[in-house]
Structures are given as C-alpha cells and as structure tokens.
Structure 1
Amino acid sequence: MNDDQPGQPWGMCAAFGCPLLGTLGSDGRWFCFCHIHKPSSLNDAITARLRGPLSHIVAATLDIRRCGASFHQSPETYRVIQQRLMSAGRRDLLLGANGADCSPHRPGRPIVKQWVARLEGVLIASCAELEKPERQRTQVQTTLIAGPKTAAEFAEAARKAIANSPRVLNEREPGDDE
C-alpha cells in the first residue's frame, strides 16, 4: 500500500506517524479514515490526537481488525480491549454498551462489525473537531456614522440638501431679464 512512503510500515496510513491502517486511497497514497480528505496542515494534529488521548480507541480498532471482527480464535484479545476501554473511563464504548451495536433483527446480540464502526466513528468525530476553524470576528468595530447609512436614506438626504441649497447662479428665474 505505501511502498513509496519512507518511515511508514506497509499497510499503514500515509500520514507520517499515524497508527491506523491506510484503507482509503487518494492520489496514489493510502490514508486512514481520519486523515483522508483533510488538509495536510492538520496531519500532525490528527496524528497527535490519535496517539495521545485517543490511543486506547485506536488500539481497540486495530485489535478488532487483527482478529477479523471475530473473537472465537482469541477471546483474550476481547478481554484486553475491554480492560483498555474501562481503564480509560470509556465504558460507553464497550461492545453492546447501552444497546449499541445490536442488530434490529436480533436485539440483545451485538455485532462486532457494528462495534468497530462505532469506535471508528468516535475517532472520526474527534478528529473532525480539529478542522473547525476558530471563529473570527467578521465585523470591525467602528464609531457611529453621521449622516445617511443606506442608499434610500442617502437619496432622501440628497433631495433635502438640493431643496435647501441656494440656487445655482446660472439658473434664471422666470421673469428675470437682463
């Protein structure tokens, strides 16, 4: 996947240092679901978030994908994921927590593929927060404007000014003969 990307192991995201798998292609490179279609200026911030406060969720998604979304062959992996999420204080992300990850056709029976999709959704939402620009003021504070402020007010003020101004010297009054 990333044969031309120095420093990144094969199969990993093309964003340098990203711990996630490169699963989506763009411009001949493979990116993870958090880095794809994001400005390259955010790569370091996204990677830092994935390696820092979200590392327990990243590790859980990687472990689930390594198992092929089935824990029949390695139940200890499931226990490790549970322990990791609980120690991070994220019980809400456990498999089937609060009825999540369950099929509508088989309530009470969570599906591992839906669980990993929910975990990845949390990662995407958290990284999307980085993309929101800080709100900048669009109005410049100024002083009060004296006089008309709109075109209609300006037109009315112009009519009044013309009506109150002294007559132009070139105009002749009717009956004025020189």
Structure 2
Amino acid sequence: MTLHRTPPNASDTPAQRQGQCVAYGCPMWAEVKTGPDWTCCCHAFAPASAWQDITQRLNQRRQLLRTIHRALHVNPAEWKPDVAAGYMGKIGRPDLAPARITLTHLARDRFTGQTVEVQIERDERDHPQLWVARLLRTLVRECAEGAPEPAKPVATAAVPMPTAVRDLIPNFGGDGR
C-alpha cells in the first residue's frame, strides 16, 4: 500500500513559477486565494471557461503589465513622471500617462447625516501609487471584463478604385469606348 498519490508520469516541475497565477500561461503574479490555488486579480472571479481568453488578453498587453510591475517597485524619491509619460506613449498607450485625476467617493456629511459624493483632485505625477492603481484598473477592465482597448489612430489614405474594367484600359484611340 502506498500513501503517495502522485501519478508516476507527473512532472517534477510545477506548471507555473512560485508566486505566479495558477492559470496556465498567465504572466501575472498571484494575489487572490481561491480554494487551494492562488490566482491573479484578473482570473480570480472569472469562470474557469474564460481563463484562456483572459490569459490571451494579458499576454497581448504584456508591455503594460511590465510597466505596472516596474512602477510597483519604483522608489518614490526616484519617480520621474515625464519618463513614465514618454514610455506610455512609446508603447502606444498615451491615454495612460500620469495625469491630473479626480477621485470620487461617498462620504457621510456630519451636519446633515446624508451620504454625499466627495470629489478630490490629485496629480498622479506627485503620487505614483495613484498612477499604478489606475493602470491596474485598466488592465483588469480590458482583460477580465473584456472591455475593448481604446482605438489607436491609424493614418490611412484613400485609394481611388476603378468602377469598371474599361477604366483600367487607357483610351488611346479617342473613339470614346
């Protein structure tokens, strides 16, 4: 009788690196424990049938994921918002450059006792943590919730197309056909 239940053909190496999401091929770090496994914030509350699509979207946005990872580990004293803004333009996401944002939350008014909406303006150039939070929200919205990435402007020129085959043949005779 054996107590070791691992099948003889099982791999000795785990499917993912330690600290990484359990979804196969997911490049994100594990954050949420769901049952016995650790998953990333994108896979955590999604059905298992959608994991492959989510992982594909994450891999398509790998540059954004690397930017988030670097920004999470930046020393606030060495934070350079102009460099971050330039890099976001370089990877094709100038809409995610550090900017001035308005934070909205609900608070209880101490005089009237009612719940009111409070708006505070903050500059992400002064608070890199706010910028990282916005990048993470964008990544989750685009990957887990399936929201489309904002359209990138594409420079195109109109190409005139012939309407009939006779338009392709030059008229040398002058008879009008």
Q: How many angstroms apart in 2 are the aligned matches of 1:111 and 1:92?
A: 17
TM-score (norm 2): 0.56
Counterpart for residue 60 of structure 1: 67
Distance 1:83 1:44, change over 3 A: farther
Deviation at 1:109, TM superposition (A): 5.2
Alignment partner of 1:37 out of 45, 69, 83 = 45
Q: How many angstroms apart in 2 are the aligned matches of 1:9 and 1:41?
A: 22
Counterpart for residue 77 of structure 2: 72
Alignment partner of 1:89 out of 87, 92, 101 = 92
User: Could you give the per-residue CA deviations for residues 9-50 of structure 1, whole angstroms, max 9, x where no partner exists?
Assistant: 111111111111101111021111111011111111111111
User: Could you give the per-residue CA deviations for residues 81-102 of structure 1, whole angstroms, max 9, x where no partner exists?
Assistant: 544421222112112x2x1288
Deviation at 1:106, TM superposition (A): 5.9
What's the C-alpha RMSD, in Å, of the aligned pairs? 3.2
- What secondary structure, in the 3-state scheme, does the structure 2 residue paired with 1:34 have? coil
Contact kept, 8 Å, 2:81 with 2:125, in 1: the verdict is no
Contact kept, 8 Å, 2:124 with 2:131, in 1: the verdict is no
Uncovered stretches (5+) of structure 1, i.e. residues with no partner: 132-178
Alignment partner of 1:125 out of 136, 141, 155 = 141
Contact kept, 8 Å, 1:101 with 1:111, in 2: the verdict is no
2:89 partner amino acid: M
Alignment partner of 2:59 out of 38, 51, 55 = 51
Deviation at 1:5, TM superposition (A): 8.4
Uncovered stretches (5+) of structure 2, i.e. residues with no partner: 1-11, 104-118, 148-177
1:86 partner amino acid: G
User: Could you give the per-residue CA deviations for residues 125-178 of structure 1, whole angstroms, max 9, x where no partner exists?
Assistant: 1123449xxxxxxxxxxxxxxxxxxxxxxxxxxxxxxxxxxxxxxxxxxxxxxx
Alignment partner of 2:128 out of 112, 129, 140 = 112
- What secondary structure, in the 3-state scheme, does the structure 2 residue paired with 1:15 have? coil
Distance 1:118 1:127, change over 3 A: same
Structure 1 residue ranges (4+ consecutive) displaced by more than 6 angstroms after TM superposition = none
Contact kept, 8 Å, 1:101 with 1:115, in 2: the verdict is no
Counterpart for residue 100 of structure 1: 101
Per residue, is there more strand in 1 or in 2? 2
Contact kept, 8 Å, 1:13 with 1:19, in 2: the verdict is yes
Deviation at 1:112, TM superposition (A): 1.3
Q: Number of matched residues?
A: 121
Instruction: Report percent identity of matched pairs.
Output: 29
Q: How many angstroms apart in 2 are the aligned matches of 1:76 and 1:114?
A: 14
Per residue, is there more helix in 1 or in 2? 1
- What secondary structure, in the 3-state scheme, does the structure 2 residue paired with 1:104 have? strand
Q: How many angstroms apart in 1 are the aligned matches of 2:62 and 2:82?
A: 17
Q: How many angstroms apart in 2 are the aligned matches of 1:36 and 1:5?
A: 23
Deviation at 1:6, TM superposition (A): 1.7
